[in-house]
Structure 1
Amino acid sequence: MAKPVIAITGPERGAFGPRFLVALAVRCYGGVPLQLRPSQHEQSVSFDGVVVTGGHDVDPVLYAAEPEVHPKYDPERDKLEMAVIKQALQQRKPLLGICRGAQLLNVCRGGNLHQQLKEHRYNTSHRWTVLPLKTLCLEESPSLLAKLLKCQRCKINSLHNQAINQLGDGLKVVARDLDQLVQAIEDPDYPFLLGVQWHPEFLLFLGRQRRLFKALVARAREQQQG
C-alpha cells in the first residue's frame, strides 16, 4: 500500500522553516509530503490530506470587507489555497489549517476575520513568540482537538495579526485564548477538519502538538485504504 500523500501549501518563495518542519512531521508518521506553491494553482494535483500553513494575512476582499490595515497580501497564494481547500472539502480529505490556514478555511466556509487584534487584547500580550508562552483554553464540549491534546489548558505560541471573527458554515469553536479570541475550529460532521491559530510545527518537541500531524496522516491512510 502506497503511503498517503499530504499536500503542504505555502508561498512561492521562503517559509523554509515551517515547510520543512511540517514535512518532517508528515514523514515521521508515514506520509509523503507534497509541497504546493502558487505557480501550481492551475495544475490538477492529487493528495490524500492537506496542511495549509501560516504566513501573510488573508486579503479581506475574500470575505467582502474593506481593508482596515495594509499589510503585505499574497493574492496568488490565496488563490492556490482557496482552490486546495475547496478540493479537499469536496473530496472530504483530512485537512489541518495552521494560523492563516485556519483563517482561510473559515473564509472558505463563509466566515470572516478580525483584521487587527490589538484592540481585542486585554489579558494577553500582542507580542509574537514561537515559544509556548500563551494559554490555550479548550471548550468543555467534546472535540477532536480535546481528544488529541488530552488537556483542558495548555501552552501555545502566537504569530498572528488576524483571527477568526464570525464562524463559517458547519464550524464550531473548540478553543480560545484568555481574551476569548478563537484559537481552534473544527467541523464535527467531517472526518478530519481542524484549524488552529497557533503553529504546532514549531512545537514538535511537545508530544501533544505532534499528535495533530499524526492524526492527520492516520486519517488520510484510513481513507486511502477504504
Structure 2
Amino acid sequence: MEQVNINFNYDEYNNMEGYKRGMGYFLIKRLIDIVGSFVGLVLISPLLLVLCVAIKLDSKGPIIFAQKRIGKNGVPFYMYKFRSMIVDAEERLGALKEKNEMSGPMFKIKDDPRITKVGRFIRKTSMDELPQLLNILKGEMTFVGPRPNLPKEVEKFDDWMKIKLIAKPGLTCYWQVMGRNDVDFEDWMKLDLKYVQDRNTWLDIKLIFKTFKVLFGDEHAR
C-alpha cells in the first residue's frame, strides 16, 4: 500500500526535543512486542479457536475483519479484528449517521443494530482486539501507542493531531484506559499526543497492566 499523502513533515518532529527517543527505548519496546505477542498468541490459542467458532456460528461472513488504518509516519496497514458486525455494516452506515454520538469524524452509537450477538460480547470484553497481536508480531503495531485511525479520520486531522503519527500505533494507550468512547475526538487526540510526549518503558509497562482490567469488561466499551 502506498503512503497516504497528508502533507506533514514527520522527520521534523521525530528529531525534535520533547518527542525524540533513544534507540534503547525502541529496542526494548520491540523486544517486548515480539515476545509478548508470540507468547500471548500461544497461550490464548484455545480461546481464539472458541471465538472463531462462535463468530462463524453466530452470523454469516468472515471471522477476521481487516480494516485499513494509518500507521507510523502516515503509512497505511491492515489492522485485524474479530468481526463483530454484520457483513453489510458499511452499507448501512449512511442510515445511522444522524444518530452519531461522537464528535469529530468518528462514528459510535449505543446499541448499534449492526453489531451481532457475539460481537456485542467480544466488544464489551475487548476480545475483538485480540487478532491485533498478529499486527504487533509483524511490527505494524506495538502494545502501547496511539490507537490507529481510519484514513477518512486522518484526512480531517488538524496539523497538531498529525504529530501522533510519529509513533507506531498501539493496542492500548491513555485513551483505552481513560474512558474510550466517552472521550470526545479532540480529547482523544490530546491524550495520544500526551503519550507521544510522555512515552518511556516504565509508562508502557504501567499502561499494559492498566489495560488488563478492560479485558474483563469495560463500562465504556461499545
Q: Structure 2 length as normaliser, TM-score?
A: 0.30
Higher normalized helix content (fraction of residues): 2
**Structure showing greater Rg:** 2
